[in-house]
Each structure stands twice: as C-alpha cells, then as structure tokens.
Amino acid sequence: MDDIAKVSNPKIPADQREKTIAQLRKTITATPGKDKKIVALSALAGQVVKSGDKDLAAEIMRDAASFVNPQPKNYQDFLLSWMLAAGYASVEPERSFVILDELIGRCNEVIVSAIRTAEFIDTNDEIVVDGELQIGGFASGPGSSMVKGLTTSLAGFDSVLIALAKTDFAKTRELTNRFERPEARVLAKMLVLRAVLGDKTKPAIKTNPAVH
C-alpha cells in the first residue's frame, strides 16, 4: 500500500511510474483473497487517476471487477460487489451508482425471501415483530457471524458514501429509496447521514441494542 501511495507522486518519471504500476498489478493479482485484490486494485486505480491517466485507471478497475460475481448469491458476494462499487466511487462515480443500483435490486429479493423464512421459523416472535424485521434477532443465532461481518464491513465505507454524496447527492439519496423494505431504507439513510455529517451525529443518536 505504501508503494501504491507513491504512484501519484508527480516527481516520479513517467517510465518509472509505468514500471511500478505494472509490477504492482502483478503483485496484487498474486495476493490471496478476492477482497484484498479488489481493495488493492481500487487503491491503485485511485492513485492512477490522481496521476492523470483515467484510461489506465479504468483498465485496472476492470481487473478488480473480474474478481466479483456479477450475480451475487451469498453475503460475501454482496460485500465484494460493494467493495467494487467503493473502488469506482473515486475513479468513475457513475459506474459506482450503476453497480449499487443493481446490487440494491438484488438485495430486495434476498430481504423478502429472508423475511418469509424468518416468519416461518419465528415461533417466539423474536425476529419479525408486527411485520418488521428485527436485526437483533440474529445477534445470537446461527446467522450472527454473517450479521457481524456485514455490519462491520458496511461501517468502514463512510468515505465511499461521502464521495458519492459529493458527486451527486440526489442520486445517492435516490439509492436509499430503492430499498423496498422500510427497515432497509431507514438504515441506508442513516448510513448516508452518518457518513456526510460525521461525528456530529454521534451525540444526537442514542442506540438501543435490543432494537438493533
């Protein structure tokens, strides 16, 4: 990552920068883990954009996209797609909006299916109450590790939401409205507000663990 950060240094000769970028791409591709590949390639593309080469940055992001399932099936696939959208946020924001729009559409299908399943097994009314999904119902159940991993990953992408909001706040807001379930819409809007307002929201928001 230190080498990636040096790519946009204007003092580096063009030929040296090209060699460095080529070597970094090889190193990243050989790195285990799709998530690490996507994050590193996105970071590299971001630095390449800063150096002024948008075409090369777009090419690098295509490399990152090759590690993402265009038809996500499990929550890890969804997180990888989110990571790809995050990478595009600083390189090609419009592409990021398209990816997120498609991802939310797929999320809506998963959420509806999850709620129907939850209602079927929720004999104690702990997961679905008055037709509303209670995320806390998964906190100690078999899906606890999934929920923890999902929420932890989303919490680390405030910079992405900030970048998209600065690019086009209306589009960013519209993305939150694409969620069909009210619980998901509220959560998405809160994530955007927290990202944009930063620490200013912390004193004003009190969370109840039993609800979340």
Measured from the Cβ of residue 201, the count of other Cβ atoms closer than 10 Å reads 13
Structure tokens at 97: 């909006």
pLDDT of residue 61: 96
Contact between 134 and 126 under an 8 Å Cβ cutoff? The reply is yes
Residue 25 has pLDDT above 90, yes or no: yes
Provide the percentage of residues in the chain whose pLDDT is more than 90: 33
pTM of the model: 0.75
Question: b/e per residue, 127-153, with b = 16+ CB within 10 A?
Answer: bbeeeebbeebbeeeebeeebeebeeb
Q: Residue 83's closest CA among 45, 109, 114, 52?
A: 45
Q: How confident is the model at residue 204 (pLDDT cuts 50, 70, 90)?
A: very low
Assign 3-class secondary structure to 145-200.
HHHHHHHHHHHCCHHHHHHHHHHCHHHHHHHHHCCCCHHHHHHHHHHHHHHHHHHH
Residue 34 has pLDDT above 70, yes or no: yes
Round the average pLDDT of the chain to a whole number and report it: 80
What is the spatial distance between Cα 39 and Cα 131, in angstroms, rounded to a whole number?
37
| Tens digits of residue pLDDT in 127-183 | 676 666 665 555 455 455 555 555 555 555 677 888 888 889 889 989 989 988 887
Residues whose CB falls within 8 Å of the CB of residue 178, separated by 6 or more in sequence, listed in order: 101, 104, 105, 108
Residue 202 has pLDDT above 60, yes or no: no
Q: Which residues pair with 169 in a beta bridge?
A: none
Span 69-98, average pLDDT: 91
Span 74-102, average pLDDT: 91
pLDDT of residue 208: 39
pLDDT of residue 108: 87
Residue 207 has pLDDT above 50, yes or no: no
pLDDT of residue 210: 39
Report CA torsion sign: 162, 163, 167, 170: negative
Residue 85 buriedness (CB in 10 A; 0-12 / 13-18 / 19+):
buried
What is the spatial distance between Cα 19 and Cα 2, in angstroms, rounded to a whole number?
16
